[in-house]
Structure 1
Amino acid sequence: MLRGRPLAGGATRAPAKSGVRLLSSRAPTARVCAVAVPSKPPTSRAAKRSKVEIIKEKSDYLRHPLMEELVNENPFINEEAMQLMKFHGSYMQDQRERRAFGQGKFYQFMMRTRQPSGLVTNRLYLVMDDLADKYGNGTLRLTTRQAYQLHGVLKEDLKTVFSSVIKNMGSTLGACGDVNRNVMGPAAPYKNRPEYVFAQQCANDIADLLAPQSGAYYDIWLDGEKFVTQYMENPKVTADRAFNGYGTNYEASPEPIYGAQFLPRKFKVAVTVPGDNSVDIFTNDLGVIVITDAAGELQGFNIVAGGGMGRTHRNDDTFPRLADPIGYVGKDDIFHAVKAIVATQRDYGRRDDRKQARLKYLVDEWGVDKFRSVVEQYMGKAFEPFKPLPEWRFEDYLGWHEQGDGKLFYGVYVQNGRIKGQPKRALRAVIESYGIPVTLTANQNIILREVEPAWRDDIQRALAAAGLAPVEELTAVDRLSMACPALPLCGLAITEAERSLPHVNERLTALLSRLGLGSEPLTVRMTGCPNGCARPYMAEIGFVGDGPNTYQVWLGGSSNQTRLAETFAERVKLANLEATLEPLFFYWREARRPGEGFGDFSARVGFEALRQYAAGYISEHEAGELPKVALPADSYAALAARAASQGKSIAHAANEALQQLTGSGAAQ
């Protein structure tokens, strides 16, 4: 990194300093550099950059050629504009199933909102519901990052849709693109638990801190008028964004943190409280954990960094990764720590290969100690030791709960996050009638907040009548499952996810019930490609699209999302779902420890043991069709004892014995 050199747009970054770093002040002080900072470029040739990097640099901070493309007569925008459009919160998509013969692609746009901690006002909910009907495909999609996606918007309607969101206290700025994405936070609206209030406020502040600042967003969607609302940014956010004592900022730049080229790739942040892993904290580039004292006063924050899900099939240089503990900072230093981590990614992340550009690859390459050291240079002080934490748990917050102020909140299950049809109309009616604000959860569900106890029965009856079942009626598989949209809209999708998972869940539920495991919770996630938007690599069973109706099967994630799953099987056809999983479920039933979930069991016994067990497994149906063999009583007793000791049926043990004798596969 060359500090003090000219940057795009004439801005410069603050020069490096040398000397001894003071650890107790935010004032700009001298510091010790742990990595070499060259005084001249190490090569006479410019560093290789991807095509997207050039597009960003030439765009005048995300304006051109997007502004020109939006007003021409085409139903689409060109490649350069499409890359810029992401930063404004939208992707151009091809509705593959609405293509007309000989007329090419059917272009439309998906708009994604920015909702820190998933908080949505009553007014914005009603506006989004209206926009879905007037300009979208009639549905609202709740994302795995607590935001909305509105599908099916035509180019000619984009300005109306975007300006409507902005003027009704919403935003799409930074919902996509090479910037910080929507900041997640714990969804529970507890009023009597100060750590939850602090976490949601912190998520909102970090979203403001890292929001693009150049004004291009308002130039395009509001003709340059920055819409004024009653909302005012936290003054400390404003001051800490401007602080540049340690080289985090571009001086005199419209984008003080991002500069003209923004980040190498997207950057994801989640905030939570100790023990509550409803946000999949370890899957984020940056995780922030609120630390309070016994009296509930905010003290500071634990920091984890380097997580991420995206990968590419059969490319071992790409992989999912969990975030590592970095350290602890006091409450006054959280924004400086966030900026320091973002600046490290900005200046050291790969810009030549977008598949290697996420923060996780930098942390993995450097190791945590070097990464921490470089971040500390940008922060101007050292991290304190990571504070001890309780065991993590997953909370979905479905059903009725006390807010802590005399009011209730109600977590409503939404299958795969898609609100449509009669459930959409019923939610609209309830939310509008009672003036209820809502929260979108990281598990694609919705929470109705600020509910008076007297409204409870009427609300539940209205929603249940529309097919939004109370939590008690959900299957154990449905309750914890998630899927990405996949086909037909996502350009990266290889196969189905959202439309296939309900049927897959039905089959899994039937299989588990047949084996006496119907009430066991099971985290199942499905994606139509390996990018992992529904976080399948954290699931107890993850299905990752690998071809038409074909999936990788990942096993071994934990129910509290603290352990990565691993690839168990490649290219499994959906038709072979039961044949693949029945032996594993049977083994789990017979050999698990008390209360042990399927993911924990799979990780404990290991995949080799799972495969060996499956190789000799004989289902009850298969056993009934096999030839009968008579055995002496003592031999049968020995076989039965062996089967019982290994958690197998007698037919299974006999089949394995025959395999060993014949040296063959399944002896059927």
Structure 2
Amino acid sequence: MTTKHLKNSLIIEGKLEDAERIKDQSNYLRGTILQDLKNEITGGFSGDNFSLIRFHGMYQQDDRDIRAERMKQKLEPLYFMMLRCRIPGGLITSKQWLAIDDFATTNTMYGSIRLTNRQTFQLHGIFKNNIKITHKMLHRIGLDSLATANDVNRNVLCTSNPLESTIHQTVYNLAKKISDHLLPRTKAYAEIWLDKKRTTDTVDVEPILGKTYLPRKFKTTIVIPPHNEVDLHANDLNFISIINNNNLIGFNVLIGGGLSIDHGNKETYPRTATDFGFISVEKIIDVTTAVITIQRDWGNRTNRKNAKTKYTLERVGFEIFKREIEIRANIKFKPSYPYKLSSRGDRIGWIKGTDEKWHLTLFIENGRILDYPNKKLKKGISEIAKCHQGHFRLTANQNIIVSGVLESEKLHIESLARKYGLMDNISSQRKNSMACVAFPTCPLAMAEAERFLPNFITKIEKIMQFYGIEEKYIILRVTGCPNGCGRALLAEIGLIGKAIGRYNLYIGGNKIGTRIAKIYRENINEVDIIANISKLIEYWSKESLDEEDFGDFAIRVGIVRPVLDPAKDFWD
């Protein structure tokens, strides 16, 4: 298969990636998944189905801790699935939570629920014979996992601000509307996982995504300034809410953010999103459709490493991209409104909303909800769900908000949270640190992340305390590979896995998430990382200006140069 030129070479000509063949021949995402489900010889999926199940929200994984031992025994890897739910805006009911909690306990290998930084949850360790019942469980409680992976629009994020309750509800409704609007129209999901019969008059058509879907994954957010907990610059399409006299009047549109890179490949680079201008509220779906169809039509299908929207925008240019949006959406961008971002962390603890209800944000380290010997986190949230009449909100920082708590419920819910270790005294540094899953389940991981972070932060806390700045914090992220899941390249200190026990050290991002970090040291172990960070923290503690954040200090004193044009200077 090869592509054809459009005018101005907006489509790249060349041999298509095999992923394009898989999608084209998939019969609208059906493949031979049903037949594979019946194959009891292997615990995994074969051929094209290995890729196609991702469109249905699952990744095939195995336990890498025991992979070598199983190979010695001439056994295939211990295959299982990771399933990621679709929850636009992260809003979930107590009843839904209890069903998920019960299912994770009885039907997954690990028994845990993993909150992600895309405001949803993942279930790890689902064996092949339990996949259908997982999807049916989700369907029964009003959820699904459709389009949470592969070349589609992923879970739509929105600010989980529990204070501006009325505005948040409006934004949440729009996030859900966008998510539903961009879903694949194929009936494959219902046929395969919910046993819906295909009728003779079934006609598959994908009016937005197209028969071969998008060239690469696509991520969308809605942000309510001044909070940027969704890390807007890590996303393809962002709507910045503009509020006037407590009314939502429209959005500034930012396009082309993304953090994934390929170690040593200078044709890949992270990029912050570009401001295109202001639109009215009623045009949000039209603009969303325009942007995603431009990416569908113009994105690079010959090289997946350069297939994201950020590369499409760089290649065709801002003016051409903007003009095409205006044509397809039948709009004219107005100048953007000024806005200010001041934070991106979750405000742990109680906050009273404008609706006079209370909201309790619970810190969940790495988002891993499990019962530990000294902290029964999973049990505690379950007990809260049994008595809580409101909702839970999953945040983009891997935490959970007990939302809409009445004054009369507040004391009881807090007592449960404290009883089960959900309201411990946590340092600011730990609250503002994050890691991706990595080992043992992620097949892309080059180094540890989730299992590495807790003890690593303890060491950072001791350094901060030694230099008398324990009340301060540094936005710190660790990822097991360079694919960007933990958003390390928007951190003040970011570690990206290079090999077992070795990382590239990046510094120089800022507190509000609007600046790309720059590489400082390459391929170093934990001992060297701690030594380097200790020296940098000492320097910061002695020479920083009043209230100067670590990332800003690193740029001001020249420890690293700012990344101003990532396509040119990220790798320099």
What is the Cα deviation at residue 189 of structure 1? Answer: 3.6
User: Residues of 2 paired with 1:88 and 1:53: CA distance?
Assistant: 17
- Measured against aligned partners, the alpha-carbon deviations of 1:49-84 in whole angstroms (never above 9, x if no partner) come to 111110101111101122221222231111300111
How many Å separate the matches in 1 of 2:368 and 2:216?
Answer: 27
Aligned to 1:163: 136
Match of 2:336 in 1: 386
* 1:433 Cα offset (Å): 2.5
**Structure 1 residue corresponding to 2:398, chosen from 434, 444, 447:** 444
State the alpha-carbon separation in 2 of the partners of residues 340 and 605 from structure 1.
43
Q: Which of 104, 119, 123 is the aligned partner of 2:91?
A: 119
Q: Does 1:430 align with 2:384?
A: yes
47, 58, 73: which one aligns with 1:90: 58
Find 2:7's aligned residue among 36, 47, 69.
36
Deviation digits for residues 546-597 of structure 1, max 9, x if unmatched? Answer: 1111111110111111111111110110122331112211111111110001
Tell me by how many angstroms 1:608 deviates: 5.7
Contact 1:89-1:176 at 8 Å conserved across structures: yes
Question: Which of these residues, 399, 416, 423, is aligned with residue 469 of structure 1?
Answer: 423
Residue among 216, 220, 226 paired with 1:275: 226
1:201 lines up with 2:153 in the alignment: no
Residue equivalent to 1:56: 23
CA distance in 2, matches of 1:328, 1:392: 21
Question: Which SS does the other structure have where 1:587 is aligned?
Answer: helix
State how 1:134-173 maps to structure 2 within 5 Å: 134-136=106-108, 137-173=110-146
Which residue of the other structure, out of 340, 361, 370, is the alignment partner of 1:411? 361
Q: Give me the whole-angstrom Cα distance separating, in 2, the residues matched to 1:331 and 1:84.
A: 35
CA contact (8 A) 1:194 1:297 kept: no
RMSD of aligned residue pairs (Cα, Å): 2.2
State the secondary structure of the residue aligned to 1:60.
Answer: coil
Q: What letter is aligned with 1:254? A: V
Structure 1 residue 175 displacement after superposition: 0.7
Change (3 A) 1:395 1:476: closer
Q: Which residue of 2 aligns with 1:223?
A: 195
8 Å CA contact retained: 1:57, 1:261: yes
* Deviation of the 1:607 alpha carbon: 2.3
SS in 2 for 1:607: coil
**SS where residue 545 of structure 1 aligns?**
strand
Partner of 1:639: none
CA distance in 2, matches of 1:142, 1:114: 12
Q: Secondary structure at the match of 1:97?
A: coil
The code of the aligned residue for 1:578 comes to I
Work out the CA distance in 1 between the residues paired with 2:481 and 2:187.
Answer: 34
Mapping of 1:549-628 within 5 angstroms? 549-607=501-559
Matches within 5 A, 1:182-193: 182-190=155-163, 193=165
Helix, strand or coil: the match of 1:507?
Answer: helix
Alignment of 1:267-416 (within 5 A): 267-294=218-245, 296-416=246-366
> What secondary structure is seen at the aligned counterpart in 1 of 2:16?
coil
Deviation at 1:393, TM superposition (A): 2.4
Name 2:570's counterpart in structure 1: none
C-alpha deviation, 1:193, in angstroms: 4.6
Q: Which residue of 1 aligns with 2:76?
A: 104
Kindly indicate whether the alpha-carbon contact (under 8 Å) linking 1:544 and 1:551 is maintained by their aligned counterparts in 2. Answer: yes
- Alignment gaps of 5+ in structure 2: 563-572
Residue 210 of structure 1, CA deviation: 0.4
**SS state of the match for residue 78, structure 1?**
coil
Aligned 8 A contact 2:23 2:212 in 1:
yes
Structure 1 CA distance for aligned equivalents of residues 547 and 560 of structure 2: 23
Instruction: Point out which structure has higher relative CO (alpha carbons under 8 A, 6+ apart).
Output: 2
Letter in structure 1 aligned against 2:488: P
1:579 partner SS: helix
**Counterparts of residues 1-80 of structure 1 (less than 5 Å):** 36=7, 47-73=14-40, 74-80=42-48
For the 8 Å contact 1:198–1:290, the answer to whether it is kept is no
Look up the match of 2:430: 478
CA distance, structure 2, for counterparts of residue 68 and residue 196 of structure 1:
44
Q: Distance in 2 between matches of 1:42 and 1:323?
A: 22
Tell me how far apart the structure 1 counterparts of residues 486 and 24 of structure 2 sit (CA, whole Å): 31
Does the 8 A contact of 2:449 with 2:478 survive in 1?
Answer: yes
Aligned partner of 1:235 in structure 2 is: none
Per-residue CA shift, 1:87-118, capped at 9, x if unaligned? 10000001112443321311000000011111
Contact 2:389 2:405 in 1 (8 A): no
CA contact (8 A) 2:494 2:507 kept: yes
Taking the aligned partners of 1:311 and 1:325, their CA distance within structure 2 comes to: 22
* 1: CA distance, partners of 2:485 / 2:322: 27
State the match for 1:649 in structure 2. none
Other structure's SS at 1:220 match? helix
Matched, 1:515 2:459: no
> Any stretches of 5+ residues in structure 1 without a counterpart?
6-34, 227-251, 611-668
> Contact conserved, 2:11 with 2:299, CA < 8 A, in 1?
no
Q: Partner residue of 1:259?
A: 210
Structure 2 residue 480 is matched with structure 1 residue 528: yes
Distance 1:442 1:541 in 2: 18
- The amino acid that maps onto 2:475 is T
Q: 2:529, 2:28 → 1: CA distance?
A: 48
Deviates more, 1:396-405 or 1:475-484: 396-405
The TM-score, its normalising length taken from structure 2, stands at 0.92
Identity %: 34
